[in-house]
Structures are given as structure tokens and as C-alpha cells.
Structure 1
Amino acid sequence: MSKSISSITAAMDNHFDVIVLGTGLTESITAAALSKAGFKVAHIDPNPYYGADEASLSLDELAQWVDHHKEDNYSVTHYGELPPHARQYSVSLAPSVIPSIGPFISSLIASGVSRYGSFKLLGRVVIYDGGILKDVPQSKDDIFQSKAMSLLEKRRVTRFLMFAGGEFENSKELHGQENSPLLDFLQKKFLLSEATARAITYALGYCYFVSETTLPALHRIRDYLKASGRYGSSSFLVGYYGGSGEIAQGFCRAAAVSGGVYILGRSVTRVVSVDPVEPEYSVLTSDLPRFAVEVDDFPDRLHCRCLISSATLLPGHLRTLADIIRPSISSCSSPRPFATARCIAIVDGPINLLSDTENSGTSEASDSSLLVFPPGSLEEGSAISTVHVMTTGPGTMSAPSGKGILYISMPLRSNSIHSAETLLRPYLAAVLLLFRTEEQQKTLICSTFYMQELASSTASNSDSLAGLLAVPSLSPHTTQGVDEAAIVAEATFRKAAASLNGERQEHFNQGCKQDGFWPSLAEIQGGESNDMQW
């Protein structure tokens, strides 16, 4: 009798409510929410680190990542030797900033994960215009302090910001213009100069392409205007130690504290849907479809009622049967790029952007900034894509003192015949030239170029398996990506909970008593010890 009970207990140890494949930001938020709601979660990633394609890596880890991906679709090239103290660097594979108001910051606070990390305000946002850098006004105060605009232009910009910050959906200005390019809308309806319209389009609305339409961009602008002033003059925060990857790890730790089981550095060799009436699975009583997951170097299968996977890790035979989770807010409705060309460059010397203005409201000293190259602004650059250059350094614990990190990204609407290096090398040269002064000249220590393709996913169909959920690749949008991750994570959480509700209805109601995505902060603080601190 004792042997029989022992066998059942051993089998139950391999059975979970949910198995999550991939520790990207979206998957990590989902795993933390499900675990905090009381579900038994196993989280698996073939990489030995958290964060998947958004990971934060030291330079020696980045070198290993380069060697591993040289043969796949990342088209990686690397130049230069690793500097001393390579482990003191923390670089992000998918850098982004965090809007001070939005779904992601709400999840950070409500989940309690904000307590485990550190953040600071993004310093300056500047735009490359005619070979020089111009600060982009982020508020009314910035506008009136600017010396780059005439009084008439300041009034027109102020009128537009009042329009964009309000309820514009049914306004006469927007009527019939929702699908026109934002750049044309600004010049036609608000009579803004081309230079000002470009600054608003690409460095306030953060449009990636020339043809991006007005309505989604206006929603983004309104969100960012509301975010300004919550924590300071900037609308955005920057995470320490590389950003998104470190935050993903924070959500994974939160899931682990609530009972989540983590398996890193082990590949999933097989995923199958199983028949619950088979004798092998008699320990399961749910009438929902189940899944069995085989993990490399694990003797036994892992079983679950619900399987959540990043689109890149889900086997092909299941991908077309999965329910694809998609973002559902208007500011995320712009066309998703096919891929993103990226560059990480390590610079010898602190990064301080020169400006043509003396008294900018955003000129507060910071080594974290965002430089925007609009389409067509660089002679050898792209005529259709915006290029973002994000800078970080010792101020976010991302590099040792006296060093700086440049992240350059270019979205691509379709497959490119050019490598990431070919596309981004002119921008790297231009940025290094901008940093040079008579007293100081920046030296490039090393650089890595790579292409990140976004996993394509077919639309969900009526034959999708209940409990099989696929999470799309994280949006590469520098300012919008983390909010999309939070939105998709919440939708995934709710669908997973619904698929588990059958016999687990009472348990779920006890674990998630309110309609909110997260338990209350009082419950979190009462149920977690101080061991959760970083």
C-alpha cells in the first residue's frame, strides 16, 4: 500500500497546472501572476539565463551568445576584444524604456516586483536634424524655454499638445484623418513646420516608419504626455543592470517565491497532447486536454493542464493549433516590423550628448538618453525607418565608471538583403562623431551587430487546442514594447485561468478573489519575506 501511495506522489510531482516555455518578459509576467494566484507552475527555458531574447548579459556571456548564434538567423558579427572587467557590464539584447504610466508600470507596482529592482528617469530625448542634435520638448515648459522655435511655432505646438492630451477621438481636426500619416496630419491641421512635425512624429509619437498612421500615434503621444511629471520631468524610466532582462528575472523570482518550479539550460525535446483516459494519466481527473513535455536529461515527462509557450519555442506541429495572444490597445496597432537590426557598442569614455540649445528643460546630466534618427536624416542611412540610439552607463549600473554603452536599433518592414552591420554601421559612425570634442575623443572598444527576427504566427483557428496558448515575440518598439508585454501577459493569464477553471473553479476563486490581474499589495507584502530583496 505504501508503495502505491509513493508512486502516486511521485507522479503528482511531475504534474503541474501550467507549464510555461520561455522566460521572456511576457512569459515571466504571466508565470508570476499564475503562481501568485495559486496555480502550480513549471517554467522552462533552454538558455542558462533568464530573459530569453530580451536577456541582460555580461560581456563574457554576450561573447558566448555570439558564438552560439553565429550560425542561425541572427546574422551576428562581432568586432574588438572583450575589455577588462567584462562581468561588470550588463547589456540588453532588446533595450527599452518604461513609460511612467501604463500597463507595465502598473504590473511592476501591483506585483511587488518594483521592490526588487532599481530605476531612474531617462535623461534627454534628442533628434538628429541636419547634422546636429536638438532637444525634443516633452512638456509646455520645455517649449517655452526652447530657443529653436519662433513664438508663433511655440503657440502652434502648444495647441497641438493640448489637443493630443485631451479627448481627440471625435474632434473635427481628426475626422477623416485617422489613417493619414501623422507627419502630414501635423503639417496640414496644425500648420507646423516640417522640422517640428518630424520631431513630434519620430521623437514624441515614436513612429517607426514614414507611413505610420495618425490615430495610434496620437494615443501614444497622449499616454506619454500624461506620464510626464509622475516621477520627474521625463515620461520614461530606465531599469538598472540592463533593463528588460533583469526585470524578467524579477518576475521569475516572484513566481518562484509563490511556488513556481524553474528549469534553465535544458531544451524541450518533445511536446505532445495526451489523451486523459489513457492509464498512464489516470492520476489526472480533469476533462480538459493535457500536454506532456519531455525535457533534455530529465528521466520523466512533465505533465500539465495548460501549456503556454513563446512562439519561437512551440513545436511546429502545435503552433497552428495554439491560441495566439495579441495586444489589444490602440497605441499598439501600428504594423509590427518583420525584424529589427541591432547593434551593441561599448565606448571608452562617458557618454554626454552635445546639444544646440543652452537651457533645455531636459538637459539634466544623465548617461541614459535616447537619440532619434528620423527616416532620411542620414545620407547613408534608411529612407523609410526610424533609428533609435539608446545610451546607458554607470548611472544605471550597466557599465563600469568611465565607460558607456550604445544600443542602436532599426525596425525592418520586410526581410532585408543587407546584414545588420551594413544597415547600422553608418549610424554608429555618426554617433561616435557626435560625441567627439576638442578635449575628448571616444574610442570604440567592441561592437556586436545582429538581426532579431520576430516569430511569425498564424491566426488562431476554430480547431485550436483548449489550454494551448502561444505568446508572440516581444514588440521591438523602444517605448511601447514593455506595455505590450504586460497587456499580452494579462490576456494570457486570464485565458489560462479560464481553461483551468472546470474542477479548479473554487481554488481559483480563492486564489484570485478580485477582478484585478494581481493580488492586493497587502496580500503580497504579508505573504513574502524579506528574502525577496535583490
Structure 2
Amino acid sequence: MESLGDTLWDVVICGTDLQQSLLALSLSRSGKKILHIDPNGYYGGTEAAFSLQEAESWVTDVAASVAAATNGTCPWRSASICKPEAAATEGQRAATGLSFPRAYSLALAPQIIHTRSDLLSQLVSSCAYRQIEFLAVGSFYIFKASAPAQASKEMGKPTLSRIPATREDVFSTTAITAKAKRGLMKFLKFVMDYDSPPQTESWGRYADVPLTEFVQMEFKMDNELQTYIVTLTLSLDGRISTKDGLAVIHRHLTSMGVFGSGFAAVYPKWGGLSEIAQVACRAAAVGGAVYMLGTDIKTMQESSDTHDANLVMSVELSSGDTIKTRMLVRASVQDHSTTGDGVSGAMGISRLVTVIDTPLKSLFAAVVEGSPTPAVAVIAFPVGSVTTATGKVSENPVYVFAHSSDTGECPVGQSVLYFTTLSTPDSKEILMQAMDSLLTAIAAEEHAPRSLFQLHYEQARGATNSQTQGLIFDFPSPSLSLSFDDSSLESVRQAWSRITDESVAEMEYMTFPDREGAMSDEDEMYT
């Protein structure tokens, strides 16, 4: 068997983030010699999913990386873990507590995938979908802070209001007035055909202004309805432009019912995008790719190969091997310190992942007869709805992805809550207060949900475009969006085009014969 150094590799891929893994999938039947390495001892990179023990190790590694990375290349900051006291007081039910560490699979980058996403189309055409179990994403909710009760001066309990997103929802909801229903119906009808000439003329002059301004001026929507609309966009700052906002809502509405009634998006079981990355890597391994985890690049240099007229890259690995490759593909190496502290303002996000001891069955109820039981619910805290103990009011929305145990990310009887907001000096405190407020809102009469485990971290926003320099191709940094951004797939195709022969037909990209026999019913990819 040839050693690593004796082989001239067509490509060395560094990192098993989703983009690198999808590239490996696209090359899995190309006959190319592929070496896929990762400095980490796990798959998924920035989209990894961890057990509790792995999460603790990751927090330690982040602290060490931040301390050592004087050039600011580490995208993570402020990673910490807290395990609140779980002792039950008199009159409460017995504490359930955390299960064993591997009973959990906590996602670093939870993203929902709309059913109209190009990612799903590529997973189908490449037959990779066979190895992935997709679950339905259910309702979107708005958090409404407590208000004084009518019969007393005492504050009422905060509530969650479900957002109507279809004609049937609008007609049946009792949360908005009849006048508001008419305005919302008019808007939903408009969005379904928003990119046709008559409609483009009406919103064209608002294209670059906030979507809220457009719906207020053209559809006379009040602040509450504006919040409903913005929540459907999952905009992290709440100020998405009219042009972008209409496109996102159109995708949401047209995704409804594509693979079943009652849902517009799906989520991969066992850890979200991490599961897709691992499936893609397995497909490449079956195709002959060589995998080495815990292996990084120490040095690299372009040189002329004596047996080949073309330039090759000489790469020294941390394993001690020195290899040669025609091309090196890696993650973005942007210096995150160029964005201030790396996570300030609109340059990054702050996340809080918490495991709670309650199944939250009311959030995961199917709202349409015959639809699958959702495993994910989306909750939005509008701007100004969270106030810290020091009186700081949230300046950006806070979004929560509530995951049931059906996702495989926690044991039965528990749930995982993923809180996300833009990073600010107060973002961690904002997230903690949002968690407390949400647990109050969803508390059943017999008990209040308890947080058993909390993981907080911040992630910097990096390069938004791919970069090519000689034989090196750098992917852009992963999108921080809460729904999968199909634009990230373009860089994967760019890398594939550079590696494959020019004679390869375009139609062969991510299109493979079915090894297991053809299936005519794509619905079988969903449960």
C-alpha cells in the first residue's frame, strides 16, 4: 500500500465543515485521489454536534485557542458551561436531572432547511438523502411579555402567540382582529406573486428600505403584524430590507406543503447540519477518499513536480507526513480580529443552548390534520421584549429553536432550547433573561420547567466570499443565518469546477446513479 507521501493527491480538503463535506460528496464518484483531513477529532467543524462531555472538552479547547490565536483566527469567544442546581423543593416533582453524556447531541449551528432549498435537491440527486432522517419544523411563535391583568394591578403571565402563515391559519386564528386578518391575507397573496411585473413596480421603490416600512405604508400593518412578518424572515437585526424580506417570505410560503401538509421546513435528526456533513464524508470514503481526523497543516509550499509539468503543493502535516497535491481546499482563514473584538455589534452572534426537563408537548402539536408531528418550533422575542436586571432593553430580536427529544438531541421527557441573538456587550445577559421569561411562559400549572445544562458561546462573522490564490481555494465562513442559505452552495460548486476536468458535463454535478435502486417517491426522505 502506498504511503501518503508516495501519492500525488488531486485535492487535499482541510476541515469537515458542511461546505468541505459537500465538496467531498460531489467528488465521491469522480475517481479523484482525495485526502480529507481535519484538525479536530470530530466531524462537522463549526456545524458539529456534541455530547455533554464533548461540549465540555470543546469549551476548554476554545479557551486555549482564543488564548493562543494572537492573529484572531479563532471564530469562537466566551464559551462557557453552567449546570444549574437541580434539587427539587418540597411540593415539586422529583428532579429528573441530566442523563448520561452521550444521550445528548447539541448542535453548534442549528439551522432549519426550507423544503424549497437547493440543498435538499442536491441531497436527493446525489442519493445522500437515504442516510438522513428529516423531521418537520412546526409553528412560529411570538413571545408576548406580561401585562397588567384587567381585574387587578398584578402582572399577567407572559404568553406565546402562534403566527398564522397560511390562508387557513389566518381564517382560524383568534389572536388578531378581522381588519388585521384582511390586511394579512392581502399581503400573503401579494408575496406569492411578488416577483411578477405588476408587484415589482409596487415594492421596487422600497427595495432597500426596511420591510417593516413597506408593509406599514402599503398594507397599513400595525406594529404587531409587522413583528409577525419580520419573524418569518428570521432576520437577526429585525431590519431586513424589503427586497430580501419578500424573497425569504416567498420561499417560506412556497415551501409550505411541498413534502407534506403543515410544515415549510425540515431539520436533520441527530444534530442538524452535522449529520449531513458526516453522511457526505461517508459517501466520499466509500468512493475511496482517505480520512484523517486530528490532523492539521503545518507548512505548505508550491513547487514543480518532477513527474508532472504542472505545479503541485507540498504540504507538511501535523502527523509528520509530507504530501503533494494539485489543489488545497480549506476553510476561511480570515483574521477575525479585524472585526473589532470579533463578536461585537452586527459582526457576530451570541448563543445559549439549554437542556430543560420538560417535553414541551404543546409547542410540538400538529396544527393541520394529517401532518407529521413537528420536532422543532420557532419562538421570537421581538426587539424590546427582553429587559435585563440592570434595565438594559434588547435592541435586537432573540430567536429560540425548541427541539423535542424526537430530534435525537436529548432523552425522552426533555427538550433542548437554542437561543440566538446578535452579539453585544449585554447579549449573554439578554439571552439568560429570555430563557427565564420563556420558561415562565411555558410553565404548566403543576410545575415550572428547569434548566439542567447551559452552554453559551459567541461566534464571529468571517469572510463572505470564497478566495483563490494559486493552488489554494478558501471557502467563505459559514453563514450565521438561522435558516440554511443556499448561496453557500455556490462556493462548493466553484471548488468542484476547479478540481474536475473541463470535459466533465455540468449535469454530472451532485447527480449520481442510485446504488440501492431507484426510488420514485421522494417523500420517503421525510418522516
Preserved CA contact (<8 Å) 1:240 1:396: yes
Equivalent residue runs for 1:364-513 within 5 Å: 366-380=374-388, 383-412=394-423, 416-418=424-426, 421-456=428-463, 465-481=469-485, 483-497=486-500, 501=501, 505=502, 509=503, 512-513=504-505
Distance (Å, rounded) in 1 between the aligned partners of 2:465 and 2:376: 38
Query: Residue 229 of structure 1 is aligned with which of 251, 257, 265?
Result: 257
Secondary structure, counterpart of 2:10 in structure 1 = strand
For 1:154, the equivalent position in structure 2 comes to 181
For 1:206, the equivalent position in structure 2 comes to 234
Secondary structure, counterpart of 1:425 in structure 2 = helix
Whichever residue aligns with residue 307 of structure 1, its letter is L
Preserved CA contact (<8 Å) 1:35 1:260: yes
Q: 1:409 to 1:486 in 2, by over 3 A?
A: same
Q: 1:35 to 1:441 in 2, by over 3 A?
A: same
Secondary structure, counterpart of 1:141 in structure 2 = helix
Cα offsets for 1:279-319 (capped at 9, x unmatched): xx31333x3x4222221123x3122111111014x899xxx
- Structure 2, unaligned stretches of length 5 or more? 67-75, 85-96, 146-157, 337-344, 519-524
For 2:105, the equivalent position in structure 1 comes to 90
Distance (Å, rounded) in 1 between the aligned partners of 2:319 and 2:359: 46
For 2:274, the equivalent position in structure 1 comes to 245
Query: Residue 196 of structure 1 is aligned with which of 225, 248, 252?
Result: 225
For 1:33, the equivalent position in structure 2 comes to 26
The CA deviation at 1:457 is 6.6
RMSD over aligned CA atoms reads: 2.9
Distance (Å, rounded) in 1 between the aligned partners of 2:414 and 2:56: 18
Query: Residue 24 of structure 1 is aligned with which of 11, 17, 20?
Result: 17
| TM-score for both structures, normalised by structure 1 | 0.81
Secondary structure, counterpart of 2:327 in structure 1 = strand
The CA deviation at 1:21 is 1.0
Cα offsets for 1:18-69 (capped at 9, x unmatched): 1111100111101110233332211111111100011011111111111211
Q: 1:359 to 1:39 in 2, by over 3 A?
A: closer
Distance (Å, rounded) in 1 between the aligned partners of 2:367 and 2:202: 30
Preserved CA contact (<8 Å) 1:225 1:235: yes
Distance (Å, rounded) in 1 between the aligned partners of 2:17 and 2:108: 11
Whichever residue aligns with residue 405 of structure 1, its letter is V
Preserved CA contact (<8 Å) 1:228 1:234: yes
Secondary structure, counterpart of 2:202 in structure 1 = coil
Query: Residue 126 of structure 2 is aligned with which of 94, 101, 111?
Result: 111
Distance (Å, rounded) in 2 between the aligned partners of 1:80 and 1:370: 24
Distance (Å, rounded) in 1 between the aligned partners of 2:386 and 2:24: 43
Preserved CA contact (<8 Å) 2:331 2:477: yes
Cα offsets for 1:422-467 (capped at 9, x unmatched): 342111111221221212321111111111112347885xxx5333
- Structure 1, unaligned stretches of length 5 or more? 1-5, 317-335, 527-532
Q: 1:457 to 1:221 in 2, by over 3 A?
A: closer
Q: 1:35 to 1:284 in 2, by over 3 A?
A: farther
Preserved CA contact (<8 Å) 2:136 2:373: no
Distance (Å, rounded) in 2 between the aligned partners of 1:258 and 1:459: 26
Distance (Å, rounded) in 1 between the aligned partners of 2:411 and 2:487: 31
Work out the number of aligned pairs and report it: 471
Cα offsets for 1:102-131 (capped at 9, x unmatched): 111112111211110111101221111343
Preserved CA contact (<8 Å) 1:269 1:295: yes
Q: Is the aligned partner of 1:42 residue 2:35? A: yes
Preserved CA contact (<8 Å) 1:107 1:486: no
Q: 1:519 to 1:38 in 2, by over 3 A?
A: farther
Q: 1:163 to 1:491 in 2, by over 3 A?
A: farther
Q: 1:382 to 1:292 in 2, by over 3 A?
A: farther
Preserved CA contact (<8 Å) 2:123 2:129: yes
Q: 1:10 to 1:436 in 2, by over 3 A?
A: closer
Secondary structure, counterpart of 2:60 in structure 1 = helix
For 1:305, the equivalent position in structure 2 comes to 326
Distance (Å, rounded) in 2 between the aligned partners of 1:139 and 1:182: 19
Preserved CA contact (<8 Å) 1:270 1:294: yes
For 1:77, the equivalent position in structure 2 comes to 80
Task: Give the stretch that moved more between structures: 47-56 or 209-218.
Answer: 209-218
Preserved CA contact (<8 Å) 2:357 2:452: yes
Equivalent residue runs for 1:43-58 within 5 Å: 43-58=36-51
Cα offsets for 1:145-197 (capped at 9, x unmatched): 11122233222212211211114364232121100100111111111222111
Task: Give the stretch that moved more between structures: 80-89 or 109-118.
Answer: 80-89
Preserved CA contact (<8 Å) 1:351 1:367: no
Q: Is the aligned partner of 1:293 residue 2:315? A: yes
Distance (Å, rounded) in 2 between the aligned partners of 1:396 and 1:220: 25
Distance (Å, rounded) in 1 between the aligned partners of 2:499 and 2:182: 50
Secondary structure, counterpart of 1:172 in structure 2 = helix
Task: Give the stretch that moved more between structures: 246-255 or 263-272.
Answer: 263-272
Distance (Å, rounded) in 2 between the aligned partners of 1:457 and 1:365: 36
Q: 1:254 to 1:458 in 2, by over 3 A?
A: closer
For 1:141, the equivalent position in structure 2 comes to 168
Q: 1:28 to 1:382 in 2, by over 3 A?
A: farther
The CA deviation at 1:271 is 2.5
The CA deviation at 1:227 is 0.7
The CA deviation at 1:485 is 3.4
The CA deviation at 1:383 is 4.0
Secondary structure, counterpart of 2:209 in structure 1 = coil
Preserved CA contact (<8 Å) 1:77 1:421: no
Whichever residue aligns with residue 406 of structure 1, its letter is L
Q: 1:519 to 1:525 in 2, by over 3 A?
A: farther
Secondary structure, counterpart of 2:462 in structure 1 = coil
Identity, % of aligned pairs?
Answer: 24
Preserved CA contact (<8 Å) 1:146 1:359: no
Whichever residue aligns with residue 472 of structure 1, its letter is P
For 1:271, the equivalent position in structure 2 comes to 300
The CA deviation at 1:247 is 1.2
